Each structure stands twice: as C-alpha cells, then as structure tokens.
Amino acid sequence: MASCCYPDIFSWIQKLPPLSQWKENSMSTCLCSSSSQPSLNLSVIKDLLSPTVSFSIVADFNLPISLWTSKPIKTNPRSSNLLDDETISCLLVNLIEAVLSYCSNKCRSSIKVPKLLDSVPNFKHIFNLVSFTLSFLICIYEAPANLRSICLANLKSQLTNPQLREASELLMKTIGSNLEEQWMRSINLAITNWIQERQANNTTFNTPSPLFSYSLSTFELWKVHLYCPIISMDVESSNNSSPDERLLFSLKHHQLEGVIQFNYRVIIQEKWVDVLVAIDNLRCDIVRLVNATLIKERGVGTEEKHFPSRISLHLTPILQTNMISVSVSKSSDNPTREIELEKSLETSFDPPSSLLGLKLSVGETVSTSLKPWKFEESVHGYSAILNWFLHDTMDGREVSSSKPSKLALINPRAWFKDRYSSAHRPFNRQGGVVFAKDEYGNGIRWKVDKSAIGETMEWEIKGWIWLTYWPNKYRTFHSETRRLEFRENLHLPIA
C-alpha cells in the first residue's frame, strides 16, 4: 500500500467531478497509511435518492469501517465540479463544528463558527488543518488499536509541519477566543486520553503536542496565547508518593490556559528612540477538560488540581546592533509584613466561696501577614526578566521549589487548604491568577539608536510557567510541581 505524506485534501475536494460523471457511488483519498496496515481514508459518498453527498472518515479494512460521517451536503448539478466555493466553505464549518463537539467541558453559547471563504489567506492550509485535526480526534476515539498507533504518528507529523502550524494560528484568530478555547480543550482532552493509554501500556513516546502557543503584535499591543495539557508538562519535583487512581484522574484532566499581554510605545527623542513596554495583563487559568459530573464520579472533585506557583518571562531584542541600554522600573516588590503584638491583663473577683477570690489572666497575640505573590524585575544583557513567585504565607518559603511536610499536608489550617474559597486565597475562585498593569511599576525602557527608525524590530518572549499540586480538601500526601517552556517572536515597528 503506498505511503501518502501530507495529502492535499482541499485540492482533492476541489477537483471532484459532478455526480453525473461518477462511475461508482463513492470516491476516496488517503489520509494516512503504511505498508503493513490498512489506510485511513476520506471518502465522499453520494446519496442515491437526492443530489447530496456526505463525507466519511473510513478505516479501509477488507470490510471498510466508517468512523465519522458529515452532514448531507447539497451539490449543484449545473456546476463543473462537485462542490462550489460556497459549499466547500459550508463543509469547512461542518468539520470545525465536529472538532468542537469533542469538547467535554463546553458552555452553551450563541457564538457561531464564521464561514470562511477561499478568499481568506491560506484557506487551503486551514481546510487541510481542520481535516487532519478531526482525523486525529477520530483516530484517538474511534480507530481500531492496530490502526490507531501508526495513523496517529502520521497525523501528528502532518499537523506539526510549518504550513499547518501557521494555518492553525490564523484559524484561532479567525474563529475568536471563545471558540479557540473550546477547540483547544477538544484537542487536549484527546491528547490526554492518548497519553494515558500509552502510559497504561508502559509505552514511552514524545507527546504529540506538549504546547500550543501563538503571538500577536498589533495596535501597540503584544499578546501571547498558550495552551498545554497538564499531563504533558515535565515533572520538576515530586514527593514520590503514589496517588490513587481517583486523584490522578482529577489532576490529569486539566489544562493550562494562559494569556500574556504587554502594551508598547515608541517615543522618538532628539538623539535616540525610547521603546517602552509595560505589563497590561497576565492570566493563567487551570481549566477542566471534562465536565464536573465526570470529575466527581471518576475523580475526587473539582477542587483538586494544580495551581500556578511561579512565572518567568524574558523579553529580548533579537537584533541588538542598534541597542543602547535597557532599564527596569523596580528590582523587587517585597512581601507585605505586618507584625502585631498584643498583650492583655484581665482581673476579676469570684464570689466569697472562692478560695482566693481573685482571678488573673495574661494573654499575648502575635500575627504575621505575608503577601503571597512576590514580583521581581532584573536585566541580563539586553534581556528584561520578569518573575512572579508564590510564597507559603505560613513560613515564607517559595512554593515551586519546596515540598510541604507531611504535617503541613494534613494541617486543616494550612494556607493552601480551602485555597479556592477562603477570604485570603492567592488565586481566583477558578484557581487561576491575574496580574494587571497597575501593580508593576512603569515597565521596561529600551534606548535604541535613531538609525533603527523605519525598521520593524523583532523581540523574543521566552517563558516558563510552574504549576504545583498540594492537596486542597482531599486527604493525601501527594505533591508535585510541573513546568512548561514556551517561546514566541513579537514585532515592533520603529516609527
């Protein structure tokens, strides 16, 4: 059986002849195959009673198995091809909706998938991306075991080629942030299930998509979106305890969703140019990949999950020929410390029957308040480095690099217990964090030579995010910290 690498699904559909020229009831193209296994095909099948067709993803065994079928699609008998541009756009919407339907934790919404016409840049690559993404999900959930492994490896290779990665960024920007989140939850739930299957079989392999991120540079704004399933993040430290299966189910079925936004300004001075970059918004959320009912039935509830414990960002101009200097606004935002010492003396008289008739009590109260998040700025060369650290408010230790004692883990009054509902929680009720611009000084200032005017400079943002699990309400000694790394390029016109 011939191998088919990076098949052009869009071009194949465009060239399908009208129904009047068909010699059989179906036509197929290969999505992926190998020399020793049946292929995974995309088939178009005509309806014998009406001028409509449907598309199917088929496992091409001796007796073919249909794994997914589209909605019926009307054809135009007067067209020289099976589908005109408008109909292909409708088919693309059908495929996108099919991918979104695999999101287990979606909210009801009135937001609709926009109809993309072939006038959209890279429409062909977007169409192929969506087709391969749906095939990837179908393969994980529906394909027979002897076909699944080879096809998933093939589809993974297709989805990570540069053309389709660029198309995925364009698709996300086109469908909007709400549908983007649903899209990524569909994909990362499938990836989580696949990794769990491989781990259960003690099979080592590279994760199919440890991280999806993309950047946007526009309107004096730098913006980075990133998504990563928890299960594919590197374990940086663990107390080596063995969590039970229910706790593991809860911890694994989450993903990190992050948004990083910077505002930038270019100010042309008499002899140089100032580039000012300030934090606008930084958001990290830990989001369920399955619904709350399933988390309660198979897991240990919705409040056992990782939490952000450290964030580190490096902003670096890539070409530094014209750079003069870089300045940061403050090196450290120290924790708030409030130490209160209160002494009291109380006296009272008892009735005459009392032995002494006088009672004396002395009390002393000491209270300490620590700000849980500490922010630091520093400089390395022309790189500006921004760090957020979460600290244990009981002993001041940095959470991402320390392990709680067993006594602390069972202490019901520890700061990390009931962490999503207590009045002094370091997270929002959903378990994430938001850092806004009003907390972090005047930002970063690069001084650039005037010879850069008229150019578009490129900056790199490199980052690391640490997530930690310490038990919230569940009784366990398990704790761990995971980490991911991302890298994106940003553009800034000097004008």
Closest C-alpha to 446, from 317, 269, 281, 330: 317
Tell me the pLDDT tens digit for each residue of 330-372.
655 554 555 454 555 555 555 555 545 555 555 555 455 567 8
Q: Which domain holds residue 154?
A: 1-202
Q: Is the dihedral of CA 100, 102, 103, 105 positive or negative?
A: positive
Q: Are 259 and 322 in a shared domain?
A: yes
Look at strands 65-69 and 73-74 and give their pairing: unpaired
**Cα distance between residue 236 and residue 481, in whole Å:** 6
Q: Structural domain tally of the chain?
A: 2
Q: Are 216 and 154 in a shared domain?
A: no
pLDDT number for residue 331: 59
Judged on CB neighbours under 10 Å (0-12, 13-18, 19+), 183 is buried
Q: Are 186 and 214 in a shared domain?
A: no
Specify whether the CB–CB gap between 239 and 480 falls below 8 A: yes
Q: Are 428 and 282 in a shared domain?
A: yes
Is residue 349 in some structural domain? Answer: no
Q: Are 161 and 81 in a shared domain?
A: yes
- Domain end position, chosen among 152, 184, 202: 202
Look at strands 73-74 and 337-349 and give their pairing: unpaired
Is residue 356 in some structural domain? Answer: no
Residue 242: pLDDT above 50?
yes
Q: Are 474 and 396 in a shared domain?
A: yes
pLDDT number for residue 104: 85
**Cα distance between residue 434 and residue 438, in whole Å:** 12
Specify whether the CB–CB gap between 259 and 283 falls below 8 A: yes
Tell me the pLDDT tens digit for each residue of 27-58.
999 998 766 678 899 999 999 889 999 999 99
pTM for this model (two decimals): 0.88
pLDDT number for residue 336: 53
Tell me the pLDDT tens digit for each residue of 279-309.
999 999 999 999 999 999 999 999 999 999 9
pLDDT number for residue 39: 87
Is residue 351 in some structural domain? Answer: no
Name the more confident of 208 and 326.
326
Read off the pLDDT of each residue in 406-412 and give the average, rounded to a whole number: 84
- For residue 134, the one-letter residue type is L
- Domain end position, chosen among 202, 226, 254: 202
Q: Are 270 and 164 in a shared domain?
A: no
Is residue 372 in some structural domain? Answer: yes
Q: Are 327 and 454 in a shared domain?
A: yes
pLDDT number for residue 372: 86
Q: Which two tokens mark 440? A: 């972090």
Is residue 468 in some structural domain? Answer: yes
Q: What share of the chain is helix, strand, coil (3-state, %, to 5)?
A: 25, 35, 35
Is residue 350 in some structural domain? Answer: no
pLDDT number for residue 339: 45
SS3 48: coil
Closest C-alpha to 139, from 181, 87, 193: 193
Beta bridge partners of 464: 312, 485
Is residue 45 in some structural domain? Answer: yes
Name the more confident of 344 and 387.
387
The pair phi, psi for residue 46, each rounded to 5°, is -90, 145
Judged on CB neighbours under 10 Å (0-12, 13-18, 19+), 472 is buried
Q: Which two tokens mark 286? A: 């830990």
Q: Which two tokens mark 135? A: 């095939």
Give the CA dihedral 141, 147, 152, 153, nearest 10 degrees: 160
Q: Are 48 and 2 in a shared domain?
A: yes
- Domain end position, chosen among 202, 220, 238: 202
pLDDT number for residue 361: 57
**Cα distance between residue 404 and residue 398, in whole Å:** 11
Is residue 358 in some structural domain? Answer: no
Specify whether the CB–CB gap between 134 and 57 falls below 8 A: yes
Report the Cα 466 to chain-centroid distance in Å: 13
With pLDDT > 70 as the criterion, what percentage of the chain qualifies?
87
Q: Are 163 and 186 in a shared domain?
A: yes
Q: Are 188 and 315 in a shared domain?
A: no
Read off the pLDDT of each residue in 187-208 and give the average, rounded to a whole number: 83
Q: Are 153 and 215 in a shared domain?
A: no
